Structure 1
Amino acid sequence: MLHLVVSNKANLEILVDTVKNYKINENVDNKDVTKVIRLLKAVTVTIIHLRMDKKLPEKYIEHLCTALQTTSCPKFNAEIAGIEKDVTTSHCIKSANQSASMRKHTGAITVAATVSGLILLNDMQGVDFLFSMAQATYRDLTNNGVWNASMRPTPGSVPPGGLIAADQIND
């Protein structure tokens, strides 16, 4: 055989691992979230097409949230962390509702609210919402100067790669 053929299952595992281990602050010039979203959306669509059931892997949206929290902007990371908390709460609400309906209680099922007021599921609609929120937050922080301010190195810190310009060294 002149070429190695990789199975869909192996490709799927590699793509999911890529999302799980993705670090924006290590992989993207100027930490451009628009580029990150474009990349992660393409990976997500590919994952769905590789799966027989055409669904996202379990807890995939949490992996996306974790990846999106790896910027150098604490305010952006905190916004995404809030969405991740809603995703976790959504799982609990869904489980509680299923348990309540299994017990066949009479009357309506009470649903607790999440921070955003939405129940985010591990599906493309949830992923699209996450990417839309990330893009809107990025745009807002960029327009207000918060994003660029967080990208500047802290005085006295060593930039990625460990190199400092000679004129920045103080004796």
Structure 2
Amino acid sequence: MQKRSQTTREALVRAAVELIANGRFADTGLVNICKTAGVSRGALYHHFLSIAELLAEVHTQARDRVDELAEHSLVEARADAPARFSVALGKALAEEQLVRAGLQLAADGTDNPPWLQDEVLVRVRDQVLAVGADELDRQVLADLAVVVTAGLVSLGYTDTAWWSPEHAERIWGVLLPLFTRA
């Protein structure tokens, strides 16, 4: 019985992820989630107190995945760390519905700021600020890293080519000399 319960819970999370990643937040109503998951309303409320609680779980799972990407890419305070993270994030956005959906959610399961995307951009900025260079250069480079990463993320929602490693690497290839020089 517990296995079936866990399977139902996972189906609900997957359904919410699919609806957000491939549509829009407004599509994540009770009826659509239950229909996509193939479960009853009662099953949803057995596992989650509300839709917001379900979406908060999506945010948590997406944050965990983004944390994995960040730990791998930002592990060392190297000048190319923001570029490596930006490329990895774009690839995850292109390939993983969980990341695509989760970046659009707040920790409380709403679509109100701050979203996971905002948390990610703060992390990129903090990474650049931690690397050498004088204060003014670090501030400018941190802002530049945020703008590039945010731009690639946002543009990819309308044209997924922006999430391709080739796109990000080409853009970062032009910018990296600024980061390594500083």
TM-score norm. by structure 1 comes to 0.28
TM-score norm. by structure 2 comes to 0.27
Q: Judging by fraction of residues, say which structure has more helix.
A: 2
